[in-house]
C-alpha cells in the first residue's frame, strides 16, 4: 500500500472519529461522517466505498435527523401539550444549544439543548394553561424525548462510522 493511501486512510479515520465525538456532545458530527464517506467514495471512484453503502449511510443520517427534529415534539404530544408547547420544545433546544455552546463549548451544546427545550416548554405550557403541574409533566416528557433522540443520534453516528471504516481499502 502506498504512503498516500495510508495518509488518506488515517485522515479519514480521524475525521470519522471526530464526527462521532462531535455527535456525542451535541454538535453536528453525523453530517461530517456523511461528507467524509461521500468524499472518500469520490476520491477512490466508489470502488470500496460503493453507492449502496453510501446510500445506507445517507439514509441513516436522514432518519436520525428526522427523529432528532421530532423527539421533543413527540414527547410534548405524549402529555397532550399545546402547539405552543411543541414549538417551544423545538426552538428552546435550538436556542439552548447555541447559548450552551457560548457558555461552555462542547458539553454546553448538549446541556443547553436539553435545558432550553425543557424550560421553554414549561414556560409556554404554563402561560397557555396556567397549570404548573401540567407544564412540568410536559417539560419532563420533552426531556425524555430529547434524551432518546440524542441516544439514537449517537448510535447512528457509531454505526455509520463503523460501516465506513469497514469499507476502507
By three-state DSSP, how is residue 159 classified? helix
Is pLDDT larger for residue 54 or for residue 78? 54
Residue 37, pLDDT > 90, answer: yes
Containing structural domain, residue 18:
3-166
Q: If you search the block for the grid coordinates 405524549, which residue do you land on?
A: 78
Model confidence over 113-147: pLDDT tens digits?
Answer: 888 888 998 998 888 878 888 888 888 888 888 88
Q: Considering its fold, how many domains does the chain have in total?
A: 1
Residues in contact with 160: Cβ distance below 8 Å, sequence separation at least 6, in sequence order: 30, 33, 34, 37, 57, 60, 61
Instruction: Give the integer Cα–Cα distance in Å for 126 and 133.
Output: 9
Is pLDDT larger for residue 155 or for residue 82? 155
Determine what percent of the chain is predicted with pLDDT higher than 70: 98
Model confidence over 46-59: pLDDT tens digits?
Answer: 888 889 999 999 99
First to last CA, the chain: 9
Amino acid at each position: 500500500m502506498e504512503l498516500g493511501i495510508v495518509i488518506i486512510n488515517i485522515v479519514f479515520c480521524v475525521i470519522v472519529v471526530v464526527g462521532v465525538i462531535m455527535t456525542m456532545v451535541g454538535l453536528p458530527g453525523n453530517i461530517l461522517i456523511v461528507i467524509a464517506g461521500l468524499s472518500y467514495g469520490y476520491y477512490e471512484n466508489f470502488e470500496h466505498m460503493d453507492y449502496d453503502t453510501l446510500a445506507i449511510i445517507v439514509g441513516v443520517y436522514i432518519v436520525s435527523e428526522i427523529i432528532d427534529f421530532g423527539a421533543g415534539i413527540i414527547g410534548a404530544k405524549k402529555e397532550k401539550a399545546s402547539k405552543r408547547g411543541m414549538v417551544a420544545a423545538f426552538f428552546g433546544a435550538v436556542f439552548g444549544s447555541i447559548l450552551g455552546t457560548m457558555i461552555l463549548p462542547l458539553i454546553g451544546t448538549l446541556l443547553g439543548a436539553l435545558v432550553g427545550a425543557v424550560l421553554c416548554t414549561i414556560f409556554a405550557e404554563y402561560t397557555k394553561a396556567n397549570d404548573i403541574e401540567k407544564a412540568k409533566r410536559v417539560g419532563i416528557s420533552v426531556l425524555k424525548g430529547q434524551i432518546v433522540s440524542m441516544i439514537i443520534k449517537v448510535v447512528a453516528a457509531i454505526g455509520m462510522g463503523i460501516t465506513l471504516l469497514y469499507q476502507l481499502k
